[in-house]
Amino acid sequence: MKPPSQRQLRVGELIRHALSDILARGDVTGLDLGGMLVSVSEVRMSPDLKIATCFVTPIGPGDASTLPKLLSAGQRDMRHQIGRQLNLRYTPTLRFKADTSFDSYGKIDALLRSPDVARDTDPHRGKDNEDDD
């Protein structure tokens, strides 16, 4: 799989900022998040720039698994607002996915803090063994 082009990255970042602003204002018709705050962590563009996959996660309490379905209800209005904000030839179709990278970071952090790993990474452990010899 090819890495994304500079244009894909640039357009994805523009859409991420625009979408974050739209969700922060909360003026999307047909969208009821029940007061849940949403973070748009990444937007990946298709090579033809016609599909934007938006990775979202709730800030604070909220169910991350239902968030993409909730946001899809207001996709049409968000797409329209992004089209007005950005000067793009085509306004991409928005697809929402739950961002699970934060869960992965938590698991890695828990592993690094486990006693077995802490014992192996303790800088004083090697010095104690050398003094005993």
What count of other Cβ atoms lies within 10 Å of the Cβ of residue 39? 14
* Of 12-16, 68-72, 121-125, the least confident: 121-125
Residue 22: HSE in the Cβ half-sphere, 13 Å Cα cutoff: 24
- 40 forms beta bridges with 56
**When comparing pLDDT for 25 and 130, which is higher?**
25
pLDDT tens for residues 46-80? 999 999 999 998 887 777 788 888 888 889 999 99
Candidates 3.30.300.20, 3.40.50.300, 3.40.50.720, 3.20.20.70; CATH matching 6-99: 3.30.300.20
pLDDT, position 16: 96
* Confidence class for position 88, pLDDT limits 50, 70, 90: confident
The domains of the chain are located at 6-99, 100-133
- 44 DSSP assignment: E
Instruction: Name the average pLDDT for the chain.
Output: 83
